[in-house]
Homo-oligomer: A and B are copies of this chain.
Amino acid sequence: MKSLIFIGLLHYPVYNKKGDTVASAITNFDLHDIARVAKTYGIQRLYIINPFRDQKRLAQRILDHWLKGQGNIYNPVRARALELVDIVHSLEEAIQDIVERWGYRPKLIVTDAKMHSNCISYPAAREMLCEKDTYLILFGTAWGIAKEVMDRADYILAPIQGNSNYNHLSVRSAAAIILDRLLGDNR
């Protein structure tokens, strides 16, 4: 039996360049690219987590364009990905939504560009996801997920290593690579 897997894209609490805890702005391309990756890899829902009403309204307008407006006429395939998106104000609201609609409290897997002493490897995480369970994989925006959320995690995924010491992927690229490592067929 396969796990139920959810994704969250966290805009608060995250760090800015100076290490302050901030709320980041929603990026249009994050919605599109990550929703398309989510649809490709059989993810149940993509939660866009942002506490600001204006930001949530902007994201909803983008979604409405592609789900109900001209975007749906121009490219209906895009709608099949974007219909996975829910815009919520907090991580707690995302977790609560999963509990209410699917009946399970998800285990929290967080991602980070930094190595932590208790990281789980990709092969180990891939095997874990094959057991029947419920997981929320959390990606951070700006300069990464704040410690208070990292501390709540059940698992921390190892950072992505390419074959250089450059370690500054966009969250869109990181999400694509991570879901492929965990769920792709890797032919």
Chain A residues with CB under 8 Å of chain B are 17, 29, 32-33, 36-37, 39-42, 75, 77-78, 80-81, 121-123, 158, 160-164, 166-170, 172-174, 176-177, 179-181, 183-187
What's the Cα separation between A124 and B80 when bound, in Å? 32
Interface pair A172/B172, CB less than 8 Å apart: yes
Question: In the complex, what distance in Å separates the CA atom of A80 from the CA atom of B177?
Answer: 21
Question: In the docked arrangement, what's the CA distance between A181 and B17, Å?
Answer: 30
Cα distance A186–B168 in the bound complex, in angstroms: 17
- Tell me, in angstroms, the Cα distance from A175 to B98 when the chains sit together: 31
Instruction: State the number of copies, please.
Output: 2
Q: What is the bound-complex CA distance between A170 and B36, given in angstroms?
A: 7
In the assembled complex, the Cα of A116 lies from the Cα of B172 at a distance in Å of 27
Enumerate chain B residues within 8 angstroms of A164, measured Cβ to Cβ: 39-42
